[in-house]
Structures are given as structure tokens and as C-alpha cells.
Amino acid sequence: MKGKVIGDILVVKQDVENPNGLLEIPGVNRVVKLGRINGLKREPEVKVLLGDGTETVHKENHCLFKMDVAKVMWSKGNTGERKRMSTISEDGETIVDMFAGIGYFSIPMAVHSKPAKIYSVEINPVSYGYLCQNTVLNKVEDIVEPILGDCRETAPRGIADRVLMGYIGNTHEYLPTAMEVIKDGGVVHYHESVPDKLKFIRPVERIKEAAGDRGVEILNKRIIKPYSPGVYHVVVDAKIG
């Protein structure tokens, strides 16, 4: 049975004839079926197959993430990127996380690095609520400042040494905002879902277009995971100005 364990919940993608048998998996107390992830707010469709409730606390890379798997998403495929980002910042940086979710990147960066401040913007009120709880769970509320709203309207401008754009969909539409947020010499981490033939071409072109007359230095390009047949989730690290 393919699935992913989030906290004490096993998340599967198909119905199970005998879900009780899955309780033999260490740490699993509940089983839910995950359907589609919908909309800008990244809301999953979930059916409970075994057990009560869909809220849990997941531990990864010495960080705690409280969430409701029926209301917010968690991608196991992004584990490596979350770990990479946890130690990428330099001491004293100001960071803006434009799509913070429940703290996927903000929490590990605050726990494992020494940024001065992380402004974590999230549009989904449910995810924002868990983001606030997770800053307290991980004792980083003095570093992470959650902000509820659309990052195009609420992200602080001109202050960031580093901007995180850890969302795929219409992410390129937010690049102009990222350029308003980032300081000269700062780094933007831009995520995009891209067809194989364009995987490191289109994202770079979009970053350079958004940067305008400001210089762009590409620091890193990497595949995070396959997204769909012939399409990859990639991230490009770009120094701006």
C-alpha cells in the first residue's frame, strides 16, 4: 500500500478494503484518503477511512508541524528542499516567505539558522492559524512573524535579504511583487512547475523579465520532484541586483 505517514495519520490515494491492517505500520493510528488539491489556498479533498479526526502533529528535521490533513497540504516530496532551505540563510538576514502555509520553510529556517526576522505571509486563514501555532510549538515566535493575506498586498517591501516563493501554480505572476520585496544583493528562491524541455529555461527567463534593469545571477537550479508526466517541480535560486 503506497501512502505517506503524516504524524500518526497514513494518507493514501485510493480506497482500502481493510484499513485496520494498516495499523501495523509503526506510528499509524488513523487512515485517510487524499483526493485533489484545490485552488490558490491549496485545500485537499480528504475522506476518513479509519479513526477519528484529521488533526495531527508531524515531526520532520527536528521541527514540529501541527496541521489538519483535511484542510491543509503536506508534500513528502518537498522534504529535501525543506531541509536544504533550513540552513541556507546567513546570520542576521531578513526573510520574506511569500507563501508560508503552515510554516513549511519558515519554521525550519528559524529553528536551524539565525535569521533576524522571517515575515511569513499566508492567504489561507486555516493554514495561517496553524502557522501561528507552529511558531509557538517550535519556540520561534520571536523570529517568525505570521501575516495573513495576499502577499501582493501584505508582504513588506524593500527589506528582504531573501525571498521564498515555495508555491507552484501561477507563481510567475508574483515575481513582480518579489522584486519589490527583495533588496539589491538579495536572493529569490523561485519555484515553478515546468515541462521537461523548458525546466531550467522558462523559470530563468521569467526571473530576468521581472527583474527588469536589475542584474540577475543564477546561483542554483534544481529539480525538487516530478510533478506530472513530463513536468517537473523546479526551484531556481537567483541573486538580484
CB 42 within 8 A of CB 73: yes
Q: Is 122 annotated as a binding residue?
A: yes
Q: Is 82 annotated as a binding residue?
A: yes
Question: DSSP readout, 115-136?
Answer: -SEEEEEES-HHHHHHHHHHHH
Rounded Cα–Cα distance for residues 175 and 121 (Å): 15
Pairing of strands 94-97, 117-122: parallel
CB 240 within 8 A of CB 187: yes
Rounded Cα–Cα distance for residues 22 and 3 (Å): 10
Q: Which grid coordinates are listed for 84?
A: 536544504
Rounded Cα–Cα distance for residues 78 and 81 (Å): 5
Q: Is 42 annotated as a binding residue?
A: no
Neighbours of 41 (CB within 10 A): 16
- Point out the annotated binding site for S-adenosyl-L-methionine: 75, 82, 122
- Point out the annotated binding site: 75, 82, 122
